[in-house]
Structure 1
Amino acid sequence: MQYFRIRPNVAGGLGENTVLDSSVHPPIVTKLHYEVDGWFGDVIVTTFPCFLVTEETQRALRKMDFSGATFADVEVTTSEEFHEGQPGQEVPPFVWLKVDGKAGRDDFGIAVPYRLVISERILDLLETLDIPFAIVEPYDGE
């Protein structure tokens, strides 16, 4: 099976209600609040060290028996910058994609230096659902 390193669009950042332990690297997030600054259609977004997918993507993933990640609730808000730059735009419901798999073995994994690695079948799904601003490169195990 082929694997790919994906750099999802950074649509925002950690919000003030995020709870994390920054004494370790990467920080361990126990409660995620994602504040969206600009969203342009990607079904997977990020801010270090977290990944989010739309609820639609979560439903599609659950149908395919994937490995290497679980889902958790996330608080999503939009910033003033978002409202000024994208007036009237709605952000779809997102869920936290908690990646715990091994890169190059599971459908979702983390490679050094904290890069998301996905299997070809996950990439095919994400491309079907739309990831216009994600950067995708082949992953060769490095």
Structure 2
Amino acid sequence: MTSPALSPLARVLARTDFAEDWYRWCDAKRDWAAEATGTYDEDSLLSASGGFAALPASEFMRAYRAAGARFEPEVAGGLGPGIDYDPRRGSEPLVGPLHYEFAGWLGDDIVTTSGYWIVTGRLADALRESPLTGYEIGEVVVTTEEQFDMFYSHLGLPRDWERLIPTGTEEGGEDFVLETVVDLLVSDAALELLRRFHIDDADISPADEEPEVSEVMRKFLDLQRAKGER
């Protein structure tokens, strides 16, 4: 008799010493039992290392997703000409499809500019097939600057790109969350999927660390917040 196929999540958990020290999967420094809202019998499943009572699966998954990372992809270009973009519109400055114009490219499957993200067609397909939440896939027009054709054409820029639109919230425990106008948070599950693709030039840091913000970017974010409060 053959064993049933494991789900993607089960395969991930099988590689983590989950049974020995399950609470460390999210954050070993936090007492997850103390934060639990459920009640437990004395003979409930305990962590062999910490002796903490097990969380309900729903609470554990929220904690698991929240233990992700701040993900800053390669900036390979900017907004292309002819785009209907006006920052005075506040939280929705773009009308119509995104136009991304590549100035360079180092080979990653996800790139960004000014609070917009695009992914290769193969990564978009993987996202659609996954159980990940907190995003939508949208249309993008992709072009290249003249200098790109001179210096980067040999890299074989993919023809198919799609827009990745983060829609999740930290409170909802989704896998893709827009923390600020330009900061993308991803869950461990989302990061696991992204690592199957080329993301060598992305900056990845723990989600609980404050992002480094330049003075120029700080002024930009303050301006965006002020517009949103009007």
Q: Is the 8 A contact 1:15 1:35 kept in 2?
A: yes
Counterpart in 1 of 2:77? 12
What SS does structure 1 have at the residue aligned with 2:195? helix
For the residues of structure 1 that align with 2:99 and 2:83, how far apart are their CA atoms? Answer: 5
Correspondence list, 1:1-142, <5 A: 1=64, 2-26=67-91, 28-30=93-95, 31-92=97-158, 93-103=160-170, 105-112=173-180, 114-140=182-208
Give 1:102 shift. Answer: 1.1
Give 1:141 shift. Answer: 7.7
Q: Name whichever structure is richer in strand by fraction.
A: 1
Give 1:90 shift. Answer: 2.5
Give 1:54 shift. Answer: 0.7
For the residues of structure 2 that align with 1:86 and 1:13, how far apart are their CA atoms? Answer: 16
Deviations 1:17-52 (A, max 9, x none): 221231044552222110001111111100012100
For the residues of structure 1 that align with 2:79 and 2:112, how far apart are their CA atoms? Answer: 10
For the residues of structure 1 that align with 2:128 and 2:209, how far apart are their CA atoms? Answer: 26
Identity of aligned residues (%): 34
- Whichever of the two has the greater Rg, that structure is 2
Deviates more, 1:38-47 or 1:104-113: 104-113
Could you tell me which amino acid in structure 2 is paired with residue 95 of structure 1?
E
Q: Is the 8 A contact 1:26 1:49 kept in 2?
A: no
For the residues of structure 1 that align with 2:90 and 2:104, how far apart are their CA atoms? Answer: 27
| Unaligned segments of structure 1, at least 5 residues | none
For the residues of structure 2 that align with 1:7 and 1:38, how far apart are their CA atoms? Answer: 17
For the residues of structure 2 that align with 1:134 and 1:55, how far apart are their CA atoms? Answer: 18
Q: Name whichever structure is richer in helix by fraction.
A: 2
Greater relative CO, 1 or 2 (CA 8 Å, sep 6+): 1
- TM-score normalised by the chain length of structure 1: 0.91
